[in-house]
Structure 1
Amino acid sequence: MRAEVAIDAVTSAATGAGVSAHDATIVRIGENGVVLLPSAGVLARVVPARGSNSRREIEVATWLTAQQVPVVHPARPEPIIVGQYVVSLWEYLPDSRPADLVTLAECLRRLHKVAIPTNLLPHLSPFDKFEDHLAMGAGLDISDSAFLRQLRDQLSAQWATAEFTLGEAVLHGDAHMENLLVTTGDRTAFVDLEAVCIGPPEWDLTLTALYYECGWFSAKEYIDFAQAYGFDVRRSPSWPVLRLIRMLRMTLWLAQSADNDPQRRRQLRHRIDTLRDETAPAGWTGY
């Protein structure tokens, strides 16, 4: 998604909802967009209308709040459709920072203990929207797409027979430090709830373990995380397939925002090359 598209969609949605958007500022751009409206104290999420889960995301936030799980609160009870996009408005926590890994582990453990609801959440689908993401990826040639499809097919077969130690639970779905905020008043809040689903808790633990392998965390930070949660996903029999699926998804995510960004395009090429020669995630940088 391009930054100007996200700004235009949010400005239109906010204006229609009576929310000031004159100072709209991009926070993050990828497949989706996150835009801050400082004067209104609102954070807006922009997603393509096709396959949007924005309405369910708002319902999930309300349900998790009732389950005493710390989450961000919607600023408007309904999403707003703007052309080909859907905009949802959320409270902005101006004094917040990403949680440390121990806090993330503790909050994930709390989330994973919630009773699984009926008729609210989908089951985890690791390859959901794969073809859409591949088609939208910048800097991918025919051979890249063929390789990534082949890797997807290989991993899909392995996923079907993977063994999980921790059973099933309610998952965040995209659990990393920046999706759990901590305020100066010690409030914690999960954000980006569109991927909340039912599945093996190992899925929520994999990103932190993979980021450690990328060199983004120290050994002590990762050990503290695993100890705080009470399980090291790298010891799971499913770790090899979880690890590769996450790297595939991270590569496709980067492809969504690599257009007109030489540094991101170089990193995208590096990720594909290292997936090919099986040296990934050596040299992977974060965005």
Structure 2
Amino acid sequence: MRAEDAIDVVVAAAAEAGVSAHGAVAVRVGENGVILLPTAGVLARVVPTRTSGGDPRREIDIAAWLAEQQLPVVRPVRQEPITIGQHVVSLWEYLTESRPADLVTLAECLRQLHSVPLPTNLLPRLSPFDKFDERLEAGVDLDKADSVLLRQLRDDLSTRWDVAEFALGEAVLHGDAHMENLLVAGDGRPAFVDLETVCIGPPEWDLTLTALYFECGWFSEQEYREFVETYGYDVRRSPSWPTLRLIRMLRMTLWLAQSARGDAQRQRQLRHRIDTLRDGSAPAGWTGY
């Protein structure tokens, strides 16, 4: 999705909703788009109707259910998504002066999320390899050997996932639990955002990203220790940790392959990630974006 196309779609949706689109600006554009409408104080999320992931109607329902459970969550400003051509737009509150949560706040909110009763007929089960093939096809700078490596890794990990053991049972998961998906508004209110990945599965899945980022060197030992102490469990103790970390590294590599076009630094990092997955030294030297 191009930024200008996403903005055009949101402007049309805003007109239908009676919301000002003056000064609309792209915040993030990739598989989906996030557009800020500053005058209205609204964030618009744009999803192509052809995509297999992301259901705006379900995200709105999830936000309402999480709010009923007294969980910190972003609020929709319109209860119905808007279809514009081949795209669907949902409108959400803009958390002014927001910042990513620190790791202690993330651990606190994840512990709260993982403790709520499982809902009936609202959430899908976690699917770790969801959209793998289409993301691989969309990847740039991947030659045949790269694709073979990544497919073989997926196949091996899929077999390992089927027999994986988890100590924490099942819970409601965010699904992509990192600091930028838990924002803290200027008034101090935290809120989970990007709800398209919310699902049911082992809590270890939500804890893996922070542990892996620590292994990458993106957090200090003290920061990670505080995260573990606050949540009450170190996922690296799980018998399934080797499987969890490799699945996450595979997903992180595919994400980078989709976003590296025209960016020499990202292309170099993509090549490094594939090389280290091949020789077993990953995540040494992995940088964040």
Identify the TM-score tier after normalising by the shorter chain.
over 0.9
1:1-20 matches, within 5 Å, as: 1-20=1-20
**1:177-207 CA distances to partner (integer Å, 9 max, x unpaired)?**
0111112322111000110000000000000
Q: How far 1:45 sits from its partner (Å)? A: 1.4
* Distance verdict in 2 for CA 1:236–1:100, change over 3 Å: same
Match of 1:30 in 2: 30
Gaps of 5+ in 1: none
Gaps of 5+ in 2: none
1:1-287 matches, within 5 Å, as: 1-49=1-49, 50-51=51-52, 52-287=54-289
- Higher deviation after alignment, 110-119 or 8-17: 8-17
* Distance verdict in 2 for CA 1:261–1:12, change over 3 Å: farther
- Higher deviation after alignment, 215-224 or 131-140: 131-140
CA contact (8 A) 1:30 1:253 kept: no
CA distance in 2, matches of 1:285, 1:31: 21
CA distance in 1, matches of 2:263, 2:257: 10
Give me the identity figure in percent: 74
Corresponding residue SS for 1:194:
helix
Amino acid at match of 2:200: I
**1:235-278 CA distances to partner (integer Å, 9 max, x unpaired)?**
11010000000011111111222122222222111111111111
CA contact (8 A) 1:31 1:253 kept: no
Corresponding residue SS for 1:222:
helix
CA contact (8 A) 2:95 2:186 kept: no
Q: Which runs of 4+ in 1 moved over 3 A?
A: none
* Distance verdict in 2 for CA 1:274–1:4, change over 3 Å: farther
- Higher deviation after alignment, 182-191 or 200-209: 182-191
Corresponding residue SS for 2:165:
coil
CA contact (8 A) 1:31 1:257 kept: no
CA contact (8 A) 1:173 1:195 kept: yes
CA contact (8 A) 2:35 2:45 kept: yes
Amino acid at match of 2:15: T
- Higher deviation after alignment, 167-176 or 44-53: 44-53
CA contact (8 A) 2:96 2:186 kept: no
Corresponding residue SS for 1:27:
strand
Amino acid at match of 1:144: D
**1:136-168 CA distances to partner (integer Å, 9 max, x unpaired)?**
112222221121111100100000000100000
Q: How far 1:37 sits from its partner (Å)? A: 1.1
Amino acid at match of 1:63: W
**1:187-229 CA distances to partner (integer Å, 9 max, x unpaired)?**
1110001100000000000000011111110000000000100
CA contact (8 A) 1:121 1:197 kept: yes
* Distance verdict in 2 for CA 1:221–1:29, change over 3 Å: same
Amino acid at match of 1:105: A
CA contact (8 A) 2:183 2:191 kept: yes
CA distance in 2, matches of 1:22, 1:146: 47
- Higher deviation after alignment, 241-250 or 131-140: 131-140
CA contact (8 A) 1:46 1:86 kept: yes
